[in-house]
Amino acid sequence: MELRRVAPTALDLSLGRLRQLPEAAVRAKEASLRAKGQLSPLVAAESDGVLVLVDGFLRQLAGVRLGLAEVLVEVVQLSPVQMKAQVYLRNRERGLLLIEECRLVRELCELDGLSQVEVGEHLERHETWVCRRLALCRQVSGPLLEDLSLGLIGPGSLRKLAELPARNQEELWAVAQRDGLSSRDTGELVDLFRRAPDPQARRYVLEQPGEALRRARATPEPEVDPRLGPAGREVLAGLRALRQVSLRLTRRMDQGLGEVSPEGVALLAEAARSAASDCTEALARLAGFVSRAGGVP
């Protein structure tokens, strides 16, 4: 391990584009440096005689603000891709922000030309982790990503909004901000918007989100008959559905089918035979169960 003392202003900060440096965190680091001094070295990779900072961006900025003449730097040998990977790996314990992970993954895929599998290998993460972050970057609109970088939107809300087209993401997020909706409320509102059957219903969700959420939450839970287990409830629901279909068919036949070609008649006849056979078999099995269980056959 090679250690050098270097002016904090002499370091190349190009990889800083992958990091977020909240002002509160910078001030806290300033206070720590002032009270305790530098407890651990920064990490930089040497490239063409330039020291590219890989880890320690908070300490570097705090050192500049405090007017430190030198900081201790650990110099390592890394390729450009390895430098970016180390930005993540050296912060894995305390974790990067979601926006930082998204930026890193996108850059490794789109600028460095790595596959998602290769990115996962460099970052020691599964391919699905890479895929989720890359999809988020590509699906979320630019303004929402900017809000994420500023801490104005939480990861949970962002993931739900990403399920919508970009234009609708911004509409829903504007509504959530206007009405001060929580992350849970925002997620539920996204679901309501996606399930809305027509433009008028979607406009109602946008114009009256509070009322839309209240009405949706007021929907009673389906009743559970304590006399039946899950399988019994499934059978009962099937029988009721079968009866409803039978009633609809009866009404349709009473009203007439109009003119049907001979080929159509043959198709209906075959479907009727199959339905009769399958329904008769199913009902016979149910009748057998009822009889064996001591019920009314």
- pLDDT by residue, tens only, the chain of 297 residues: 799 999 999 999 999 999 988 888 999 999 999 999 999 999 999 988 899 999 999 999 999 999 999 999 999 999 999 999 999 999 888 778 888 999 999 999 999 999 999 999 999 999 999 999 998 888 888 888 888 887 888 888 888 998 898 889 999 999 999 999 999 999 999 999 998 888 999 999 999 999 999 988 886 666 677 788 888 888 888 998 899 888 888 888 888 888 888 888 888 889 999 999 999 999 988 888 888 887 655
Tell me what pLDDT residue 221 has. 60
H helix and E strand count, the chain: 14, 4
Domain 1-78 in this protein, CATH class: alpha beta
Write the DSSP assignment of 99-138 as a string of letters.
HHHHHHHHHHHHTS---HHHHHHHHT--HHHHHHHHHHHH
Tell me what pLDDT residue 193 has. 92
Structure token digits, residue 295: 């019920």
Tell me what pLDDT residue 95 has. 79
Q: Domains of the chain: which residue ranges?
A: 1-78, 80-139, 152-217
CA distance linking residue 156 with residue 27, whole number of Å: 27
CA distance linking residue 133 with residue 120, whole number of Å: 11
Contacts of 72 (CB under 8 A, 6+ apart): 3, 4, 5, 38, 41, 42
Tell me what pLDDT residue 8 has. 93
The alpha carbon of residue 58 and the mean position of all alpha carbons in its chain are separated, in whole angstroms, by 29
Tell me what pLDDT residue 89 has. 94
CA distance linking residue 89 with residue 103, whole number of Å: 15
First-residue to last-residue Cα distance in the chain: 85
Asked if 121 and 108 touch (Cβ cutoff 8 Å), the reply is no
Q: Which residues of 74-112 are buried (b: 16+ CB within 10 A; e: fewer)?
A: bbbebeebebbbbbbbeeeeeebbbbbbbbbbbbbbeee
Structure token digits, residue 241: 């559905």
